[in-house]
């Protein structure tokens, strides 16, 4: 079940984070901030009261883009569609906040994640050199969440919705 995270998830989030990432971890303090004051949405996948993964979106007031800040799936629950489901839920949440697209960065050597994002409609648009603590480069990817309609299509769509 995917749901919004809450403060009672802090311990499980920190444990998942440290099991999944060798460096560049989110700290307990960071998770606490994001849950209480950060301009963020943190979704978790839970089964039988066990956290299997999370997706973290960040928002900036003057940007039409949401940023997928982190996506983590517990190693023992991978290849079960949890990442895809969390990503889809995060995209829906971003749409609900009015975001026009989702951007993300991922390690250049994280081929499994790159395949998932590509299957979900993300396209590479750049690279950050020496991005991670271990000097690994990051691929930048983005997915549009809305399609721009031509003026005539917008009118037709508005008329259809009104009827």
pLDDT at 152: 39
Once rounded to an integer, what is the mean pLDDT over residues 137-141? Answer: 95
User: Is 161 a residue whose pLDDT tops 60?
Assistant: no
pLDDT at 156: 40
User: Is 111 a residue whose pLDDT tops 50?
Assistant: yes
User: Is 129 a residue whose pLDDT tops 50?
Assistant: yes
d(CA 103, CA 91): 10
| Tokens encoding 70 | 């982190």
Q: What is the total count of domains within the chain? A: 1
**Nearest partner of 41 among 77, 10, 3, judged by Cα:** 3
pLDDT at 147: 58
3-state secondary structure the chain: CEEECCHHHHHHHHHHHHHHCCCCCCCHHHHHHHHHCCCEEEEEEEECCEEEEEEEEEECCCCCEEEEEEEEECHHHCCCCHHHHHHHHHHHHHHHCCCCEEEEEEECCCHHHHHHHHHCCCEEEEEECCCCCCCCCEEEEEEECCCCCCHHHHHHHHHHHHC
pLDDT exceeding 70 applies to what percent of the chain?
90
CATH code at 54?
A: 3.40.630.30
Once rounded to an integer, what is the mean pLDDT over residues 135-143? Answer: 94
Active site residues: 105, 117
Q: Domain containing 98: what range? A: 2-162
Please work out, in degrees rounded to the nearest 5, the angle formed at the alpha carbon of residue 129 by the alpha carbons of 68 and 101: 25
Once rounded to an integer, what is the mean pLDDT over residues 105-122? Answer: 94
pLDDT at 78: 82
User: Is 94 a residue whose pLDDT tops 90?
Assistant: yes
User: Is 69 a residue whose pLDDT tops 50?
Assistant: yes
């Amino acid at each position: 079940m995917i749901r919004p995270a809450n403060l009672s998830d802090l311990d499980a989030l920190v444990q998942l984070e440290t099991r999944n990432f060798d460096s560049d971890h989110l700290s307990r303090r960071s998770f606490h901030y994001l849950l209480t004051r950060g301009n963020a949405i943190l979704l978790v996948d839970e089964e039988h009261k066990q956290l299997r993964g999370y997706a973290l979106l960040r928002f900036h007031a003057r940007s039409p883009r949401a940023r997928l800040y982190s996506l983590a799936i517990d190693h023992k629950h991978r290849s079960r569609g949890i990442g895809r489901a969390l990503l889809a839920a995060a995209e829906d949440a971003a749409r609900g906040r009015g975001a026009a697209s989702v951007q993300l960065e991922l390690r250049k050597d994280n081929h499994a994640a790159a395949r998932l994002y590509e299957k979900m409609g993300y396209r590479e648009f750049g690279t950050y050199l020496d991005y991670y603590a271990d000097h690994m480069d990051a691929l930048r990817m983005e997915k549009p969440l809305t399609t721009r309609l031509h003026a005539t299509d917008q009118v037709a769509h508005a008329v259809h919705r009104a009827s």
